Structure 1
Amino acid sequence: MNRFKSRARCLRTEQPRAEEILWRELRNRHLDGCKFRRQHPIGVYIVDFVSLERKLVIEVDGATHSTDEEIARDARRTTEIESFGFHVVRVTHTDIYKNLDGVLDWILLELGRL
């Protein structure tokens, strides 16, 4: 477990720009009063953002999530994370850059469904 905590800390310091933008909107209970954590271990994975109280995981996908192999790997990852009782939503860097309000509305919608 220490290996995952150490890796999560490293990922927090090397966060991509799109994740920084989304984090500003999620942190400090800004969205629906919901507490989110970033780069948090769940099982053998480190998820981008998670609300433990609402069991919602938000994964931010960049260009490295577009091939058939990468899509299949993401699907397996989602299935495994969901086996822990979480609901996983995926957003792209492009969505965050071009339609942040839409991304936030979608996350609010998902939070309302949980």
Structure 2
Amino acid sequence: MPHTPIPPKNRANARKMRSTLTDAELKLWNELRAHRLMGLGFRRQMPIAGYIVDFACPSHRLIVELDGSQHGEDEEIRYDSERTGRLRQDGWTVLRFWNDDVLQDITNVCGHIVSTIGTIP
């Protein structure tokens, strides 16, 4: 698959976002980092296709997005749908979890990530 060039502004924003994780992002990152989840390699706040995704496992082309309550509003739902469609066009599988799911049931979230990777061709 061709690599999409990353504008310097997006690269800088991703770098900044890595230092200001939400509570849910930090909790999930502590499960994913350093190949802790089944030996899978994840990156956080990774620029892909003009977007900055929360977490990506490049070897399986899996993206994990964490959503707060603002993602339940109509405008955000439309934006997220377009974004997901664009990422899927590039061959990525996108999983979305609510922040509360991560904070309340991290085991189930991690289990879903692992089971999804098992179904990616």
- TM-score if structure 1 supplies the norm length? 0.97
Q: Alignment length, in residue pairs?
A: 114
- 1:52 Cα deviation after fit: 0.6
CA shift digits 1:23-49 (9 cap, x unpaired): 000001111211000000001100000
| Alignment partner, residue 3 of structure 2 | none
Percent of aligned pairs with the same amino acid: 37
Work out the CA distance in 2 between the residues paired with 1:27 and 1:56.
15
Work out the CA distance in 1 between the residues paired with 2:21 and 2:89.
26
Unaligned residue ranges in structure 2 (runs of 5+): 1-6
1:49 counterpart = 2:55: yes
- 1:109 Cα deviation after fit: 0.7
| 1:1-114 equivalence runs, <5 A | 1-114=7-120
- 1:2 Cα deviation after fit: 1.5
- 1:88 Cα deviation after fit: 0.2
Q: What is the RMSD of the two structures over their aligned residues, measured on CA atoms?
A: 0.7
Work out the CA distance in 2 between the residues paired with 1:97 and 1:27.
17
Unaligned residue ranges in structure 1 (runs of 5+): none
